[in-house]
Amino acid sequence: MAAKKTTNESAPLVGIVLGSASDVDQLEPARSTLKEFGVPFEFRVLSAHRTPDHALRYAEEAEARGIEVIIAAAGGAAHLPGVLAAKTVLPVIGVPVKSKSLNGLDSLLSIVQMPAGVPVATVAIDGATNASLLAISILSGKRPELRAKLKRYRKQLAEKVLGARV
């Protein structure tokens, strides 16, 4: 059975990979942020444990397909980001998903404790928005239009804070 796949364009720059379909809602902020910035992405469900061959193949083939950054979300044992990072030199951003038993602390520690030489950038538990903004920041290094959008976004955040009434 092929991995479930959705895209917002035919030439994605960011791959969003989830370890379980039950994590889709937690990754919706990443999708909406990438759409807001006009960044093409693909969205797939692949498991480091239940579909390891597909997950490994995804990581191995991502760069050749034009992917430049991978956002990988997983809960519990949370091996997916590390497994993908082990098979590609592309930046991998791990999103720990809140788990039932330990509120995501298990996921966070699993992702952040990568061995030297195989890094995974890690955001907060259920931190999909920051994962997408980090991906955009990475992509903006060679895309001035994205850098300009990111600067406008940050300016709007600052204005919102400064204009808050307390």
pLDDT in tens, the chain (166 residues): 344 444 444 699 999 999 999 999 999 999 999 999 999 999 999 999 999 999 999 999 999 999 999 999 999 889 999 999 999 999 999 999 998 889 999 999 999 999 999 999 999 999 999 999 999 999 999 999 999 999 999 999 999 999 988 8
Q: Residue 94, class by beta-carbon neighbours within 10 Å (0-12 exposed, 13-18 middle, 19+ buried)? A: buried
Give me the pLDDT at residue 4, please: 44
**61's tokens:** 């083939």
Give me the pLDDT at residue 10, please: 63
Cα(136)–Cα(138) distance, rounded to whole angstroms? Answer: 5
Q: Which domains does the chain have, with CATH numbers?
A: 4-162 (3.40.50.1970)
